[in-house]
Chains A and B, each alone.
Chain A
Amino acid sequence: MAEETATAAVLVRKEPDREVLEEAFQVKVDAETRIEPKDWMPDAYRKNLIRQMSQHAHSEVVGMLPEGNWLTRAPSLKRKAILMAKIQDEGGHGLYLYSAAETLGITRDQMYDQLLDGSAKYSSIFNYPTLNWADIGAIGWLVDGAAITNQIALCRCSYGPYARAMVKICKEESFHQRQGYDIMMVMAEGTAEQRRMAQDALNRWWWPALMMFGPHDAESAHTSQSMKWKIKRSSNDELRQKFIDATVPQAEYLGLTIPDDQLAWNAAEGKYDWGEIDWDEFRNVVNGNGLCNRERLETRRKAHEGGQWVREAALAYAEKRQQRAASAPEKKEI
């Protein structure tokens, strides 16, 4: 009898513990105190962040591929050097984000595996091909522009390492968008053929760029919980509208036409009205049937497997040097 009561007491004590922890966690989040790696956090918060951050990291890394297509064909040495620097940045951004995600307890190898076996997603925008040089301009201007809109909001994310990575990334992304717009300006002011290429690029990248913000708020599976935990600070639709309002005048300046016949300034609401995204296309590309899904993953897989011997050799070399240092007579350093 006494034993039974003791067990019951333990059970009673354990149950509220979790609730108390979760409540204390939410109080911290509400008070804008950042959550750091070793702090207690609900499992679902951890999982949600790992999903979002690894997906974000994969997007940076896969995002290098469409641009890599033009590295050897950039029209001048200046453009080639700029494009190289931008692609290098994207690789760096992937690294900041992988590192930040690792603080949540997932390993780098696990994340790579999830990307390569298709269980983790990356931004669908990178499953579209880069067909002409103006695409590189359109990617910088629109794709990086949309990414910045998203990422500025994430700089205030409740998870410290993610927010810090975002601050650094945002500083670097600004150059990406400006170099893209710079390409578009040159093309738009160029020959008739160049203007046609610029317009063609805008036609193909506009809608996929709007899709980058994800489903409408009403359809978004993760939005409300993420907002409560302050992982997300603005909703998909808010950010998308912000991007449209900022970008339409930029297209006008270029003398290019946004491929949306319902686009119109709504003076009463101080924002642009616009048409509707082709959600069938969105779902199709997310589900792996975009033009380049297979090619992108195949390229990543080859790069990862092709680098295996380098990683092994580097480790073997480090090990050998360590052993040599250990067996060598001790040197006094002054």
Chain B
Amino acid sequence: MTDKAPLHELPLFEVFIRSKNGLHHRHVGSLHAADAEMALTAARDVYTRRSEGVSIWVVRTKDITASSPEDRGPFFDPNEDKMYRHPTFYDLPDEVGHM
């Protein structure tokens, strides 16, 4: 044993795949890799064995900032009472036709 600090696990990456042009990238899962380049190669092997994608993003998991579920209420609350943002808030007479 050397006195070097024990090597850590390979870093975790989140994988996003665009299944075809015209669609968003979607989160499909995660994997461990030494760096982003190797993460890309591994993501291709793990998540696109049956042509599931035309483009892959990988992001270090620790670089993602997420809202927390405990704040779900207060965080999203301001939108709850603004019904006037929805088209159905407005009653228009039938004569106006489709709008």
Contacts and interface: CB of A to CB of B under 8 A. Distances in A.
B34 A317 contact: yes
Given A95-B46, A318-B34, A107 B66 contact: no
Given A92-B49, A99-B29, A102-B12, A311 B35 contact: no
DSSP class of A's interface residues: helix, strand, loop or mixed?
helix
Contacts of B12: 102
Interface residues of B, number: 23
Interface in A72-108: 85, 88-89, 92, 95-96, 99-100, 102, 107-108
Interface string A304-328: 0000000110110110011000000
Interface string A97-137: 00110100001110000000000000000000000000000
Interface in B38-84: 38, 45-47, 49-50, 66, 68-70
Given A95-B31, A108-B32, A311 B7 contact: yes
A318 B35 contact: yes
Contacts, number: 56
B19 interface: no
Contacts of A260: none
Contacts of B28: 168
Most buried by A among B8, B12, B30, B66: B30
B18 to A, nearest CB: 17
Given A99-B29, A99-B30, A99-B31, A314 B69 contact: no
The bracket for how many chain A residues form the interface is 20 to 34
A222 to B, nearest CB: 26
Interface string B1-30: 000000111101000000000000000111
Contacts of A321: 35
A108 B69 CA distance: 25
Given A95-B46, A99-B29, A99-B31, A315 B10 contact: yes
B38 A102 contact: no
Interface of B: 7-10, 12, 28-35, 38, 45-47, 49-50, 66, 68-70
Given A40-B69, A95-B31, 15 more contacts: A36-B69, A92-B46, A95-B29, A95-B46, A96-B46, A102-B30, A168-B28, A172-B50, A311-B10, A311-B34, A314-B33, A314-B35, A318-B34, A318-B38, A322-B35
26 contacts: A38-B68, A38-B69, A40-B70, A88-B49, A89-B49, A92-B49, A95-B31, A95-B46, A96-B46, A99-B30, A99-B31, A102-B30, A107-B9, A108-B9, A168-B28, A168-B29, A311-B7, A311-B34, A314-B34, A315-B7, A317-B34, A317-B35, A318-B34, A318-B35, A321-B35, A322-B35
